[in-house]
């Protein structure tokens, strides 16, 4: 067996509309085709790949529910991305991954899920 690509992450949320809007506005993802499940949700696409599957919950998630520690996306265009985060008032925390040449831009979605967007550390800040 050989892993060949990241497929998707499934995120449960009681803020479905806010989450769809945030991922579209902040990370420039778009909704697309989704199977006709018997529960609310949305699939958010990067290009033609649905990489975030949102599952709508009624009410707030329980604090004891399992949570995602984080998920990561690879990107190019650090300066433009940081400008977009500032424009959207999204707080960021930068972190270098020692010895790997990766600069992480750490952000959080409306449910508090941690996302880091990874750039080659050679990109100018």
pTM (two decimals)? 0.76
Q: Which fold has domain 69-125?
A: 2,3-Dihydroxybiphenyl 1,2-Dioxygenase; domain 1 (3.10.180)
14-29 pLDDT tens trace: 899 999 999 999 999 9
Contact 19, 113 (CB under 8 A): no
Confidence label for 59 from pLDDT (cuts 50, 70 and 90): low
Question: Which residues neighbour 67 within 8 Å (Cβ) at sequence distance 6 or greater?
Answer: 113
Per-residue pLDDT of 81-125, as tens digits, reads 999 999 999 999 999 888 888 899 999 999 888 898 989 989 866
Residues of the chain with CATH 3.10.180.10: 1-60, 69-125
Given this model, what pLDDT does residue 43 score?
Answer: 94
Q: What is the 3-state secondary structure (H, E, C) of the chain?
A: CCCCCCCCEEEEECCHHHHHHHHHHHHCCEECCCCCCCCCEEEEEECCEEEEEEEECCCCCCCCCCCCCCEEEECCCHHHHHHHHHHCCCCCEEEEECCCCEEEEEEECCCCCEEEEEEECCCCC
What pLDDT was estimated at residue 83? 95
What is the signed CA dihedral for 73, 75, 80, 83, rounded to 10 degrees?
A: 20
Task: Answer whether residue 78 shows pLDDT above 90.
Answer: yes
Comparing 40 with 63, the larger pLDDT belongs to 40
Calpha distance 1→37 (Å, rounded): 30
pLDDT of 2 over the 80 cut: no
Looking at domain 1-60, its CATH superfamily turns out to be 2,3-Dihydroxybiphenyl 1,2-Dioxygenase, domain 1 (3.10.180.10)
């Amino acid at each position: 067996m050989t892993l060949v690509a990241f497929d998707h992450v499934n995120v449960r949320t009681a803020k479905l509309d806010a989450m769809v809007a945030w991922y579209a506005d902040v990370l420039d993802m778009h909704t697309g085709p989704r199977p006709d499940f018997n529960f609310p949700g949305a699939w958010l696409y990067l290009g033609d790949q649905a990489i975030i599957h949102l599952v709508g919950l009624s009410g707030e998630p329980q604090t004891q529910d399992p949570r995602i520690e984080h998920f990561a996306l690879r990107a190019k265009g650090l300066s433009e991305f940081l400008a977009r985060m500032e424009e959207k008032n999204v707080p960021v925390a930068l972190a270098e991954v020692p010895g790997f040449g990766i600069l992480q831009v750490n952000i959080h979605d409306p449910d508090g899920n941690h996302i880091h967007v990874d750039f080659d550390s050679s990109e100018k800040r």
